[in-house]
């Protein structure tokens, strides 16, 4: 298992490890979407961002391979009166039908091995509506902290941007986030990207 959070979700059935409030990144992405947009989240975990997107009236699909995480996500959606289509599957292998207005991930796609994630991002680009968006936050190799034995293919400098060289880059930032999920304060270097697929002529 590359991600340690599957086991953490099983160990904490009554607790939301990441909380229930949406990430600031989800809020930022939502502001760029049209009414009724169709959203795909890769690695949705316990569902906080999917539920937020659903609360905004978007048509949402959340994918995660951790069944315990999806169970929490389902409960959170019920508590908020929100409808989300939950899919328990490896994000690199799931078969979905587009088009989507947004393909989104927040700290997830770096768990997929590089060859699989390159295919994944290419495939989801083809599922994205012309003028649609991709929004990703990924771990990079500038500042590495191995948390709970996780296995990550860290993104290299500029790697994520190169994968979207044929799209319009709206946001690209490099930085670091503070974390202490394993009980030890530490940081992860990250790259944030929001890119828009060119509209067809």
Q: Is the overall model pTM greater than 0.85, yes or no?
A: yes
Residue 200 pLDDT: 74
Q: 28-68, pLDDT tens digit by residue?
A: 999 999 999 999 999 999 999 999 999 999 999 999 999 99
Domain membership of residue 151 (yes or no) is: yes
Is 169's pLDDT higher than 90? yes
The domain tally of the chain equals 1
Q: How many helices (H) and strands (E) does the chain have?
A: 6, 7
Domain membership of residue 201 (yes or no) is: no
Q: Which domain holds residue 91?
A: 5-196
Q: Give the range with max mean pLDDT: 84-88, 174-178, 183-187.
A: 84-88
CATH label of the domain that carries residue 32: 3.40.50.150
Q: Give the range with max mean pLDDT: 42-46, 113-117, 196-200.
A: 42-46
**Of the candidates 69, 123, 138, the residue with the CA atom closest to the CA atom of residue 92:** 123
Greater pLDDT, 148 or 142:
142
Domain membership of residue 141 (yes or no) is: yes
Question: Could you give the strand order of the β-sheet that contains 128-139, starting from the edge strand earlier in sequence?
Answer: 85-88, 59-64, 38-42, 100-106, 128-139, 186-196, 168-179
Domain membership of residue 110 (yes or no) is: yes
């Amino acid at each position: 298992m590359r991600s340690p959070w599957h086991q953490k979700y099983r160990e904490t059935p009554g607790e939301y490890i990441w909380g229930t409030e949406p990430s600031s990144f989800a809020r930022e992405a939502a502001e760029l979407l049209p009414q009724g947009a169709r959203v795909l989240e890769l690695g949705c975990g316990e569902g906080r961002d999917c539920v937020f997107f659903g609360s905004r009236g978007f048509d949402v699909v959340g994918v995660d391979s951790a069944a315990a995480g999806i169970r929490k996500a389902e409960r959170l959606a019920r508590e908020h009166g929100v409808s989300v289509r939950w899919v328990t599957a490896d994000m690199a292998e799931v078969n979905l039908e587009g088009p989507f207005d947004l393909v989104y991930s927040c700290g997830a796609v770096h768990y997929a091995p590089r060859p699989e994630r390159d295919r994944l991002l290419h495939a989801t680009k083809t599922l994205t509506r012309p003028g649609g968006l991709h929004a990703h936050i990924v771990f990079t190799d500038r500042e590495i902290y191995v948390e709970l034995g996780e296995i990550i293919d860290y993104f290299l400098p500029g790697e994520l941007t190169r994968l979207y060289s044929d799209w319009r880059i709206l946001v690209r930032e490099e930085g670091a986030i503070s974390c202490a999920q394993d009980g030890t304060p530490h940081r992860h270097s990250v790259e944030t990207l929001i890119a828009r697929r060119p509209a067809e002529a």
